[in-house]
Structure 1
Amino acid sequence: MSRLKDRSSRHDAFFRKAREQGFAARAVFKLEDIDKKLGLLRAGDRVLDLGCRPGSWLQYAGQRVGAHGKLVGIDRLPMPSEIPNARIVIADLYEITDEVLVGDLGAFDVVLSDMAPDTTGIKSTDQARSAALVEEALNRASRLLAPGGAFVAKIFQGPDVELLRKRMQTFFATVKLVKPEASRKISTEVYLAGKGFAPAST
């Protein structure tokens, strides 16, 4: 992060609030907003967090699912974790098997993805890379979600948003496009959220 961005974050209300409440990043309030609007997380849920570093989404999910819930997070980079009931997998999502992620849980009730690509500054390239991450996350969710499950993924606004929204409609009873309050106004990020997962018939 540049010094300019760092200074901006330090004066950001969500940044300060996250630090005061012990969360690893301000992004926690994006998930909280989506959860409050759509009712994603419940006590006892099994949750998969794709691109989990630095851990604020896992922290929030852990609070929501409680002592009987289970959390699995995956990221390419190591992260410290003292989150109860959380298993952290250090790996590239494109290289890891479904079996390693799900372990003995059988399936997940919620799959989350706050993944963002390495950006180039070229809008069309960054949008395409973001969409590719969402597509991979959705592929995983379609194989690992339990019936009735939920899915949330960040995507940069662009032509692929509508295509992915329509694809999600083949798996989920309801699909919403959400711009959380904690998203910066200048950011092109939005979140695709699906509820009521039903595996595609074969």
Structure 2
Amino acid sequence: MLGAGPDALAGRAAIDPRLPRSAWRQLPDQKRDWRASAPKNRLRFSRDLAKQRESAERAEERLRATEKRALLEIDRERSTATKLQKELDEAVRRAEQKDADHRRAIEAIQAQLGDARHQAGVLQGRLDAVQTENLRLQAEMLTLREAETRARDARQSGAPAAVRKTSRSTRSSRAEPTAIPGTRRKKAV
């Protein structure tokens, strides 16, 4: 019958007449014990309640501190994410700028390369023309020398032997252009 108060037992006895007489006899003793232990039980209950309140308050403080730390951490993460996003945007912008600069530089270099190739083609054409002219002049000179040698041999074979030895000229047999009087060439300065 622990946990039931004296009034509960009295009420039960009134309801249930079959309770043994010994229970009726113990009823005043139990009432006295309960009344004597009631202040002690109230004090223990009050202490337990105070401990529970303190524990709940500490748990609430821990919860508030945890929430505060979590909010600070979220704020830090948000600031870090914003900062990193700005850095990423700046890096992308710089990369795009460098890409555009490189593209412009490549286009300029390609234009210069095209000009250089054109100039090289023009110069190659001139070189080919000069080489062709040089070969033509060499062939013409060779032909003239051969003709001069044949002409000399023909003159020598037709002239007496004594004349041949003395008439050798040191000058070229080619006709030199004569200057027109009153027209002198200007010297390059």
The normalised TM-score by structure 1 is 0.13
Relative to its length, the structure with more helix (as a share) is 2
Larger radius of gyration: 2
TM-score, normalised via structure 2 length: 0.13
More strand per residue: 1 or 2?
1
Higher relative contact order (CA 8 A, sep 6+): 1
